[in-house]
Amino acid sequence: MAEQADVMELAKRRGFFFGSNEAYGGVAGFYTFGPQGAALKRNVEAAWRDQFTVKLGNDEIEAPTIMPEPVFEASGHLDGFDDMLVECAECGESHRADHLVEDAIEGIEDAEALGIEAVADLIAEHDLACPACDAALAGEPVEDFNLMFETAIGPGSGQPGYLRPETAQGIFVEFPRLKEYARGQLPFGVTQIGPAYRNEISPRRGIIRVREFTQAELEQFIDPEADEPPIDEVADVAVTLYPAPEQEADDGGYVETTIGEAVADGTIASPWVGYFLGVAQAWYERVGIDTDRFRFRQHRSGERAHYASDCWDAEAEISGNWIEIAGFAYRGDYDLSKHAEHSGDRFTVFKRYDEPKTIEAATVDPDMATLGPEFGADAGDVADALASLAKHDPAAFDADTVTVEVDGDSYTVDSDVANFSIEERTESGEHITPHVIEPSFGVGRTVYALIEHAYATDAVDGETRAYLSLVPEIAPTDVAVFPLVSDDRLVELANEIASSLRHEGVSVAYDDSGSIGRRYRRQDEIGTAFCVTVDRDGIEGDGDATVTVRERDTAEQVRVPVPSLSAELSALFDPESDRTFADLRAAYGAVETTVTTDSS
Amino acid sequence: MAEQADVMELAKRRGFFFGSNEAYGGVAGFYTFGPQGAALKRNVEAAWRDQFTVKLGNDEIEAPTIMPEPVFEASGHLDGFDDMLVECAECGESHRADHLVEDAIEGIEDAEALGIEAVADLIAEHDLACPACDAALAGEPVEDFNLMFETAIGPGSGQPGYLRPETAQGIFVEFPRLKEYARGQLPFGVTQIGPAYRNEISPRRGIIRVREFTQAELEQFIDPEADEPPIDEVADVAVTLYPAPEQEADDGGYVETTIGEAVADGTIASPWVGYFLGVAQAWYERVGIDTDRFRFRQHRSGERAHYASDCWDAEAEISGNWIEIAGFAYRGDYDLSKHAEHSGDRFTVFKRYDEPKTIEAATVDPDMATLGPEFGADAGDVADALASLAKHDPAAFDADTVTVEVDGDSYTVDSDVANFSIEERTESGEHITPHVIEPSFGVGRTVYALIEHAYATDAVDGETRAYLSLVPEIAPTDVAVFPLVSDDRLVELANEIASSLRHEGVSVAYDDSGSIGRRYRRQDEIGTAFCVTVDRDGIEGDGDATVTVRERDTAEQVRVPVPSLSAELSALFDPESDRTFADLRAAYGAVETTVTTDSS
């Protein structure tokens, strides 16, 4: 298995990612994607968009990262998006109080669920010390720290703004307009890929827990009473599930099943969640996750937000730990209802009935000229109570008098005074608040998992090499082109080949420095599938010029005529073509090389 | 010409962009790109990447949007990135003081250059009033307001951070690592596309001046003494230039020329800037800018940053105003030198000489046992002065005694005491600070310009219609597919066509609601090049099913057999294919329709 340190070293040296602002000492929790990492990340985003936006027929939007305070009052982030903070009085270092407790005390796995007071007590009871300076933390206050980055929009009396903690709010808050674009028809889905922020107390685990990251989220809006997912499309997808009951059982384990079966037998409660797990499983396989180090884990009841009726995480095994790389939640009408309540705007769609319905509505029109003199200042409340009674118990008005209670006092009036009546109304439909299913992907974590799962080592020509066995769709570079030596004719031909491949949309690295072995290693380490080498042998003689083409994982080489090169390479990348490197070997013959595989 | 109001209305109604957070009353300066706008914007970014990253052989990175304070101390943004603020004491509204002065007083075009005090005086002298409440502003303080959004990284004693005002700093600050990826070889270029922020005092002009926007920037690092751009590649590109002298002359006007000529005659001072103007002109034409409403305007000396030796803006005419949509600056070594100075890290590359050079270095090694007793506390300063003299005037040591000055006093010592000598050193190269040329594009402004330039109206079948004549590469949707009526067979065939086109990577809109005329208008307004309609005529009879294909700009229709449809549409989109809609008309015959063009 790849060691995290090896992968991090390779990532930095080869330009996948590295800690930002190192010239200024660095700032924990911020990473920069270098040329290779940015290309890999864009490819992952493009593959996600192809599946979750284009193929599913959804709409993608791009909302600002700064949002005003009322949005987060409604979403609950202003009050509830906290971590437990304890600060060392000695050295001033801040720590996650719940993590300290979990790390130090056997048997405590979810300290956050215990609450602030219990965690403060545990720190005192167990004499926990500051990990930075070893000073005692007993007695230091444990406090909620809000994880949103705050800023001020505009000068002076400007309003508070926050960097969004999830891209989702940029979709929810615009629902009234987005539903117009969907012409008010459920179901519809809206996606977004973009930055999100979380002001971690003490970022750790390198690129896994960072303060600024990229999310790819889909908000699927449905009519819970009418809309079913096309579950048949993914019924046969095989998945490794780790349901909550298995996690809680002493001898619990994974359930190897299919989406169809898991939804049918209730292991996955929501068919919509099941559908997206199936779509996601196929997508992860497409981009090259190692399925032996991948599972869907259900949230246990304590982990789940109160409004989420079912929630599963996609988890990848990274350096021996299972890390969440995506979440799939059935969120009900929580998000849209909250924004409706806080904004006063309408976050509903109009659901038309198949047939118009005739509705009987009981109403009253109390005679205030009678109630006023009789009840004085209480007359208005009595009238309201009569209206309420009419709705809930219209039969009460059948008697000669009706009695209502206001603030514990009973008031009796003649039924005539209430002017009770039943009105008929024809309604063509009703306004319903859609439910939301949210598949939410962490792009950076996915990128990291793909790199680690692709990392392999073997021996070529007697030397150990590391390489990334990335699938072509997400590899940063498609092809590398090398002139073997700096001979004008070789350089010219290499440039021509690089340029013609680039104009065909192939991503090309051109490299003319260092030994050929070193150039191959460099491309192996960034996961370039093929290296084209222009050598003297290839331009001597009468026929077409030839070049060698080397495959990354086998390190095997074949010699291909230049006029066929573009077509051959395109066919190797084309997912709809069956052409493989073995076909090239059969067609053109292999060039000698020695490979010993000792890869995991 | 398109009216801005028409374009803004269409943009909102059709999902290009709209003010964010409207449910909460909106926040000035923030826009959300709806489904059509986000797709258009991504296409513009992809076209930019193809040209400025891939075709130019540069590297793209992705850095965080939050950066720590020392970065902006070095870059100058902490001190100098200000606008002039005046706040109304009556209503509390904030205003750009320089804009108030420019709007109210004839003949003042660049009030910012006058300075804070002069602007405060002008407000008082001219009795300027608050545009919001009409209260007098005379006497209110005019202050510098820093335009960076500030936040705090981490809890408690966390450090200040800022949302980057330009993507460039994320490149400059990582130069020590980025040069390693370029293996220390100049020239090389690094690009970035991402969010940037500017906390405007009072955002105006809709989407043109916003608080959060997307930049696409290229930092080209060169050796100023050795690296020349491949100017021949763009020598023949025709451009409309508006040089500074023409702007300042009474009868000044545009210069219609080519990049080659403008660089040769010095109109464009820097060949590197000229090169990028040529690349940019071709790129703007490719994505569909109206070249009659496009120019390159040189900064006048007062506009230019002190370190920029030449600077040009790409400007588009938008609703009658010339708006900057990109900037091209020769920034010298300003950025890298400042970061070197502030961080103490090395922001240089090692430039190897063709031949190692032998350097003669004059040194002294003063005998302190003699100087100490003679000059006491001043002995150290005298020794330093001798070392300095050796560097600047080695011949002085030829005499028996040498005299140096320290703080105005002369000190004379025997030359022997100085231990003067000439040492030879062989140096293989030197550390140089690269110069930077920065093409910097505003993506949102480009998107807006392309929409307004593409906006046209005409009459089809006697009705006025608006359409966006976008080039296929950037149009949000490639093809729309409609079943004419909701007949099962038509719906099934339409779905099959949509699905097979989607699997070929074509972006497809499927629309089965409303009259066919309304569906055509909807696609016209979002710039979809072709609409495919599945009708009964097409599925009756014995042969292959047929569908109509309608071209957006002409509203002409042809009837195409379904088995040929994918290939025909792919050929129309393929930039390397010559196939046009006229060829389809010739091959399959036109379907009747009436178009009257009254477009601008």
Judged by CB atoms closer than 8 Å, whether chains meet at A35 and B59 is answered as: yes
In chain B, the residue whose alpha carbon lies closest to the alpha carbon of A190 is B35
**CB atoms B33 and A62 under 8 Å:** yes
Give the pLDDT band of residue B597 (cuts 50, 70, 90): very low
Which A residues 150-179 touch B at CB under 8 Å? 150-159, 161, 163, 170, 173-174, 176-178
Pairing label, strands A17-19, A238-242: unpaired
Q: Which residues in chain B have their CB less than 8 angstroms from residue A184's CB? A: none
Taking an 8 Å cut-off on Cβ atoms, the answer to whether A159 and B27 are in contact is yes
Q: Do B38 and A60 touch (CB under 8 A)?
A: yes
ipTM of the predicted structure?
0.89
A242, β-bridge pairs: A297
pLDDT at position B485: 86
SS3 B137: coil
Which A-chain residues 15-34 have CB contacts (< 8 A) with chain B? 15, 18, 20-24, 27-34
Contact (CB<8Å) B195/A153:
no
How near does any CA of chain B get to the CA of A253, in Å?
A: 38
Question: CB count, 10 Å around CB of B372?
Answer: 16
- Please give the Cα distance from B282 to B303 (Å, whole number): 26
> Is B474 exposed, middle or buried, given 0-12, 13-18 or 19+ CB atoms closer than 10 A?
buried
> Would the CB atoms of A154 and B41 count as touching at under 8 Å?
no
Q: Which of A485-499, B226-240, B321-335, B407-421 has the lowest mean pLDDT?
A: B407-421
B398 token code pair? 């030829």
Could you tell me the two tokens for B554? 């002409």
Q: What is the DSSP letter of A226?
A: T
For residues A379 and A427, what is the distance between their CA atoms, to the nearest angstrom? 33
> A18 contacts in B (CB within 8 Å)?
174, 177
Q: Does B211 touch chain A (CB under 8 A)?
A: yes
Contact between chains at B151 and A156 (C-beta distance less than 8 A): no
Residue among B254, B323, B242, B292 nearest B453 (CA): B292
Looking at residue B508, what is its pLDDT? 87
Residue of chain B minimizing CA distance to A522: B181
Predicted pLDDT of residue A461: 79
- Among B154, B174, B199, the residue with its CB nearest the CB of A32 is B174
Residue from B9, B13, B24 whose CB has the most chain A CBs within 10 Å, to mutate: B24
| Structure tokens belonging to residue B388 | 């300095």
Q: Is the dihedral of CA B330, B332, B333, B334 positive or negative?
A: negative
Alpha helices, DSSP H only, in A133-254? 168-172, 175-181, 244-248
Q: Does B181 touch chain A (CB under 8 A)?
A: yes
Looking at residue A359, what is its pLDDT?
Answer: 85
Q: Which of residues 58-97 of A touch B (CB under 8 A)?
A: 59-68, 70-71, 85, 87, 92, 94
Angstroms from A41 CA to nearest CA on chain B:
9
The DSSP symbol for B136 reads B
What's phi and psi for B577, nearest 5 deg? -100, 145
For B466-486, write each residue's pLDDT tens digit.
999 999 899 999 999 999 988
Task: Collect the ranges in chain A with pLDDT lower than 70.
Answer: 1-2, 157, 205, 593-600
pLDDT value of residue B214: 98
Lookup: tokens for B557: 């229709």
* Beta carbons of A148 and A76 less than 8 angstroms apart: no
Are the C-beta atoms of A480 and A441 separated by less than 8 Å? no
Contact (Cβ atoms closer than 8 angstroms) between residue B472 and residue B520: no
Q: Which pair of tokens denotes residue B462?
A: 């006697």
Q: Give the whole-angstrom CA distance, residue B411 versus residue B403.
A: 5
B538-565 pLDDT, tens digit each: 888 888 999 999 999 999 999 999 999 9
Contact A155 B145 (CB under 8 A): yes
Which residues does B159 contact at the CB level (< 8 Å), separation at least 6? A27, B68, B69, B152, B153
A304 CB neighbour count, 10 Å cutoff: 16
CA distances from A182 to A169, A228, B261, B476 (A): 18, 18, 52, 16
Whole-angstrom distance, CA of residue B548 vs CA of residue A500: 37
Pairing of strands B238-242, B212-222: unpaired
C-alpha triplet A324, A325, A328: angle, nearest 5°: 85
Q: A37 and B62: CB-CB below 8 Å?
A: yes
Single pTM value for the model:
0.89
How does strand B188-197 pair with strand B59-60? parallel
- Please give the residue that has the higher pLDDT: either B234 or A2: B234
Q: How far apart are CA B36 and CA B446, in angstroms?
A: 15
Q: Per this entry, what is the length of chain A?
A: 600
Nearest to B149 among A151, A342, A510 (CB): A151
Instruction: Give chain B positions within 8 Å (CB) of A41.
Output: 62
User: Residue A256: which residues within 8 A CB-CB, separation 6 or more?
Assistant: A238, A239, A240, A241
Pairing of strands A17-19, A31-33: antiparallel
Mutate to test the interface with B, among A14, A27, A88, A348 (most CBs of B within 10 A): A27
What pLDDT sits at residue A372?
87
Which of B27, B31, B173 faces A23 most closely, judged by CB atoms? B173
Taking 60 as the threshold, does the pLDDT of residue B593 lie above it? no
Per-residue pLDDT tens digits for B44-98: 999 999 999 988 989 999 999 999 999 999 999 999 899 999 999 998 888 999 9
DSSP code string of A498-524: HHHHHHTT--EEE--SS-HHHHHHHHH
CA distance B331 to B172: 12
Q: Are A256 and A236 in contact (CB under 8 A)?
A: no
Q: Does A145 touch chain B (CB under 8 A)?
A: yes
Minimal C-alpha gap between B381 and chain A (Å): 34
**B99: enclosing H helix or E strand:** helix B97-104
Q: How far apart are the first and last CA of chain A?
A: 6
Q: Which amino acid is at A52?
A: F
Instruction: Find out whether A27 and B161 touch, Cβ atoms under 8 Å.
Output: yes
Neighbours of B321 (CB within 10 A): 11
- Say how far apart CA A204 and CA B228 lie, in whole Å: 45
B51 in contact with chain A, both atoms CB, cutoff 8 A: no
Angle, CA of A203, A207 and A208, to the nearest 5°: 75
Whether B247 has its CB under 8 Å from any CB of chain A: the answer is no
* Residue B358 backbone zone (phi > 0: left; psi -120 to 50: alpha; other: beta): beta
Q: Is B406 left (phi over 0), alpha (psi -120 to 50) or beta?
A: beta
**Of B59, B87, B345, which is closest to A23 when you measure between CB atoms?**
B345
Domains of chain B: 1-69+151-348+433-460 (3.30.930.10), 82-146 (no CATH), 354-429 (no CATH), 477-588 (3.40.50.800)
Q: For residue B67, what is the nearest residue in chain A, using CA coordinates?
A: A21
Q: Do B20 and A510 touch (CB under 8 A)?
A: no
Position B398 scores a pLDDT of 87
For residues A451 and A468, the answer to whether their CB atoms sit within 8 Å is: yes
Who's near A292: CB < 8 A, 6+ residues apart? none
Contacts of B70 in chain A (CB under 8 A): 24
Strands (E), A391-433: 401-406, 409-414, 421-432
Strands A479-483 and A530-534: parallel
Q: Which residue of A has its CA nearest to B507?
A: A54
Going by C-alpha positions, the residue among A258, A212, A263, A211 that lies closest to residue A239 is: A258
User: Which residue from A31, A174, A176 is facing B32, i.e. has the nearest CB?
Assistant: A174
Q: What is the pLDDT of residue A597?
A: 44
Taking the C-alpha atoms of residue B232 and residue A482, their distance in angstroms, rounded to an integer, is 25
Contact criterion met (CB < 8 Å) for B156 and A92: yes
Across chain B, what does the average pLDDT equal? 92
- pLDDT band per the 50, 70, 90 thresholds, residue B594: low
**CB-CB contact of A328 with A275 (8 Å):** no
Give the angle B201-B202-B206 at the CA atoms, nearest 5°: 135
In this prediction, residues B190-194 reach a mean pLDDT of 98
The pLDDT score that the predictor gives to residue B23 is: 96
Asked if B495 has any chain A CB less than 8 Å from its own CB, the reply is no
- Which residues lie across from B459 on neighbouring strands? B464, B596
Q: Name, in order, each residue with C-beta under 8 angstroms of B440's C-beta and a sequence gap of 6 or more.
A: B166, B168, B215, B216, B217, B218, B326, B327, B328, B329
Coil, strand or helix: which one is B477? coil
For β-strands B255-258 and B595-596, DSSP reports them as: unpaired
Q: Take residue B204 and report the two structure tokens written for it.
A: 């105006």
Chain B residues in contact with A176 (beta carbon < 8 A):
22-23
